[in-house]
Amino acid sequence: MRRTYIAHSIAGIILCLPLVTFAWRPGEDIIPCGFVAANPCGFSDFITLIGNIIDVLLYAASFLAAISFAYAGFLYVTSGGSSSKISEATGIFKNVAVGYFVALSAWLIIKTIESALLGSRTPSFLK
């Protein structure tokens, strides 16, 4: 069981690597400042960078939650009536749901703070 978990974790990490590209939007730099002396980095650039990193982490969490839900569903379907397998699958479902809810809540709080610090009237997650 431990080897399977490690193999699935490594496969998940490899599959999540392309998600890093979502931090970059075409036509923009990942770090939008500091390349020349005339464009020094400011506070808003730092907040934008943190927002990009948080977005990437949320994409990765979404992917991992989907994989975990699928794994728990597979365990549940193939349990064959075994109460231990059903309880294991139910536990995985509950843990993933709580963890994903916490991740989404943290994202919402961070995005709200980001919009408040940047002085935007409309929060960036509503645009």
- Given a cut of 80, whether residue 71 has pLDDT beyond it is yes
CB half-sphere exposure, 40, CA atoms < 13 A:
3
Q: Which residue has the higher pLDDT, 93 or 4?
A: 93
Q: Which residue has the higher pLDDT, 37 or 58?
A: 58
Amino acid (one-letter) located at 93: F
- What burial class does residue 109 get, using C-beta atoms within 10 Å of its C-beta: 0-12 exposed, 13-18 middle, 19+ buried? exposed
pTM, two decimals, is 0.64
pLDDT at 126: 52
Q: Is the distance from CB of 19 to CB of 63 less than 8 angstroms?
A: yes
pLDDT at 50: 78
